Structure formats: structure tokens, C-alpha cells
Amino acid sequence: MEDTYIDTLDPEKLLQCPYDKNHQIRACRFPYHLIKCRKNHPDVADKLATCPFNARHQVPRAEISRHISSCDDKSCIEQDVVSQTRNLGQETLTESTWQCPPCDEDWDKDLWEQTSTPFVWGAATYCGNNSPASNTVMEHKSNLASGMRVPKSLPYVLPWKNNGNAQ
């Protein structure tokens, strides 16, 4: 019995395709081959049924009920169902004692209390009490060396780039 179990797990074992008896497929490729061959042989696919316990089992429709009652994979599924129903009665969910920590953050308040305004390219910098009602414009400070200036618009063309125009 154990030899046949090990034999079914061998990925190199050759299995016969239920759609084309001339196809001998390695067990590791068998599921992929079944999908491909089912599409290529729709007439044979209509005559076969898929086992509910193992999709690799393609059985003639007339024999599916007999196969279901004697399928080896049925016992694995039944054991899983029985073990889950046993564990279901034993499991009791405990009430969570986790509580949300207190939150002292107030993003709206923080926004009004900011000491510096965020930098926005091309926008005038406002000063005063940082409220939208204040329209006093500050003079821009430049950290650039004398004789250099910030470009007026972006993107700008660098002077050494001539965009393909010959000089």
C-alpha cells in the first residue's frame, strides 16, 4: 500500500491522458496538460466528468458516481472535514481587550500653528499670522551667487543644448 502511495507522488511518473490515449505525460505536468488537451478535444471533454476530490481524475460521465464512492482522495477530504468539525466545537473565541490609544494629534490646529510656510515653486511667500487672510508678500531671498538667477519658467532649455539646430 505504501509503495503505491509513494508511486503516485513521483513527479516523473508517466500518466496517460484521458483525452488522447497516445499522450504519456509526466505527473508534474499533468494538470497543465489536462487543461490544454480539454480545449483541443471538446468532443471527448463533453463525455468526461471531473472528480470533485481530485481534478486530475477525468472519468466517463456514466461512471462518475461509482468513482466518487471509491475515490482514494475522498478519504483525505473526509478526514479533513471530521477534524475541522471536532476543532470547531473546541475553539472558543476570546474577547479582545485591546483598546485604541488616546490620540493627542490635531492636524487642523497644527496647520494654523506652523511657523514656516511650505515652499511652492512660483508662488509668492506670505508672512504675518499665517492665515489665508494675510496678503503681505515677503521679498524673495536668493541663496544663489551674485550674477545668477532662478529660471523664470520650467522646463527650460540649457544654453549648451540647441535642440538639434546647427549653429
Tell me the C-alpha distance between 61 and 45, whole Å.
10
Tell me the C-alpha distance between 152 and 75, whole Å.
78
**pLDDT at residue 14 above 80?**
yes
Average pLDDT (119-125) is 67
Tell me the C-alpha distance between 56 and 52, whole Å.
10
106 or 47: which carries more pLDDT confidence? 47
pLDDT at 77: 77
123 or 167: which carries more pLDDT confidence? 123
User: What is the secondary structure of 61-102 as a DSSP string?
Assistant: GGGHHHHHHH-HHHHHHHHHHHHHHHHHHH--PPPP---PPP
**pLDDT at residue 165 above 70?**
no
Backbone phi and psi for residue 14, each to the nearest 5 degrees, phi listed first: -85, 130
pLDDT at 1: 40
pLDDT at 50: 92
Q: Backbone dihedral region of 164: left (phi > 0), alpha (psi from -120 to 50 degrees) or beta?
A: left
Type of residue at 136: T
Q: Tens of pLDDT along 27-70?
A: 999 999 999 999 999 999 999 999 988 889 999 999 999 998 88
8 or 28: which carries more pLDDT confidence? 28
